[in-house]
């Protein structure tokens, strides 16, 4: 299992990706959209291997999330694979 603290400015999105296991996201500050749903402070979201998605920070300020994942993500493009190689996500 891995845990990440992710901070993003409003309008910033993560690259499209899938999963090799379960992922839990807890919003600590701000908000993000994912597959048409808005998640705000205190919200939890759970994703599994069937989910391909992109999280996008929304609102006026930054979004900070705590993410716990059973395994690394599955990036869908070369830039994501490059980031994965260097960041280990």
Give the predicted TM-score (pTM) of the model: 0.80
The whole-number average pLDDT for the span 20-40 is 93
**CATH architecture, range 2-87:** Sandwich (2.60)
Question: Which of 18-22, 30-34, 65-69, 71-75 comes out lowest in average pLDDT?
Answer: 71-75
- β-pairing, 56-58 with 17-19? unpaired
**89 has pLDDT over 80:** no
The whole-number average pLDDT for the span 58-71 is 91
* Residue 69 in tokens: 């994942």
**Domain spans in the chain, listed from the N-terminal domain onward:** 2-87
Query: Can you tell me the distance from the alpha carbon of 41 to that of 49, in angstroms, rounded to the nearest whole number?
Result: 25
C-beta neighbour count of 21 within 10 angstroms: 14
**81 has pLDDT over 90:** no
| Average confidence score pLDDT of the chain | 86
Residue 72 confidence (pLDDT): 76
């Amino acid at each position: 299992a891995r845990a990440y603290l992710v901070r993003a400015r409003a309008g910033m999105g993560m690259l499209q990706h899938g999963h090799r296991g379960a992922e839990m996201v807890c919003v600590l500050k701000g908000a993000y959209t994912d597959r048409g749903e808005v998640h705000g402070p205190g919200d939890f979201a759970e994703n599994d291997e069937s989910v391909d998605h992109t999280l996008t920070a929304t609102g006026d300020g930054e979004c900070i999330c705590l993410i716990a994942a059973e395994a690394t993500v599955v990036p869908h493009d070369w830039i994501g694979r490059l980031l994965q190689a260097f960041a280990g996500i």
